[in-house]
Amino acid sequence: MPAHSSSQFDVGISRRRLIKHIVAGTAVSSVLGRPWLASLIADCTPVQAGAGILRVKLSEFPALQNDGGAVRLSLNPFVASSTSVTPFYPVLINRVAAGNFVGLSSRCTHMGCVVSAYDEGSGGCLCQCHGSLFAIDGRRLSGPANSALTKYRLFFDGVDQLCIEIPGLGFSVTPSVADSPVGPRIRLQFAARRNVNYEIHYRKSISEAGIVVTFSKTQDGTATETVLTPTSNGTATIFVDRPDGSGFYSVSIQTLEE
């Protein structure tokens, strides 16, 4: 992941793993005019308008194999001791018992600091700013906070995948043909958020896994970039080379385990 030069985004915790392919916008066909209506992964779709689905494979997170295990995933750089976290707070995923998982916002309900992942030693999810403590299911246990952590809608397929609905995370992708001297291209446009890392994935068929593809920020430029990190909110436009035959593109968000 590219380093952020601004000292505002100081996580203060070592980032151990880069997770990909777990947050996706709508898929679009490389054969324009043929919309792909199937989900990228046959799991679940958001109920709330504008929400997105955070897809998590339990097999990739050893901590979630045991009761009391927990992980914290960040969708963007954040300030642990500040209310200026944008645009998304890290997501807490806790295993209460076998088959029983909860997804929570890490935003402390006292003054908006970032709450740590659940820790059995401390007996909960601790806010380092003012000492509020929350239970594994998000209930307020002690401290100045007067309400529970926000709980996200979560679906478990009973095998290996969690789907967590995150408000404001969803976005759609609009494709169009781009005439370019470098060859056939598709223009992809979507509503992007600042300081979030986006990747473009391509799959030839529904049964195949998506692969990261390069893109260009200009219609005639060389497609050599793999990560887009907007510096402001707005419509992002990128250009991908159009392969022979059919296939599908999606825009995904890079996510970090803290």
- Please give the domain boundaries of the chain with CATH numbers for all domains: 19-43+171-257 (no CATH), 52-166 (2.102.10.10)
> DSSP of the chain, one letter per residue?
-PPP--TT----S---EEE-SSBB---EESSTT----S-SSSS---SSTT-EEEEEEGGG-GGGGSTT-EEEEESS---TT-S---S-PPEEEEEEETTEEEEEE-B-TTT-PBBPPPBTTTTBEEBTTT--EE-TTS-EEESS--SPPPEEPEEE-SSSEEEEEETT----EEEEEE--TTS-EEEEEEEE-TT--EEEEEESSTTSPPEEE-BBSSSSS---B--B--SSSEEEEEEEEPPSS--EEEEEE-EEE-
Question: In this predicted structure, which of 43-52, 131-140, 229-238 has the lowest mean pLDDT?
Answer: 43-52
Average pLDDT of the residues in 87-109? 94
Per-residue confidence (pLDDT) for residue 37, from 0 to 100: 40
Per-residue confidence (pLDDT) for residue 66, from 0 to 100: 93
For the stretch 6-21, pLDDT in tens is 222 233 334 445 554 4
Per-residue confidence (pLDDT) for residue 234, from 0 to 100: 93
pLDDT range class, residue 85, cuts 50, 70, 90: low
Per-residue confidence (pLDDT) for residue 30, from 0 to 100: 57
Report percent pLDDT > 70 for the chain. Answer: 78
Name the nearest CA neighbour of 134 among 121, 110, 118: 118
Q: Is the pLDDT of residue 131 over 60?
A: yes
Average pLDDT of the residues in 101-130? 93
pLDDT range class, residue 36, cuts 50, 70, 90: very low
Per-residue confidence (pLDDT) for residue 180, from 0 to 100: 83
Whole-number Å distance between alpha carbons of 68 and 39: 31
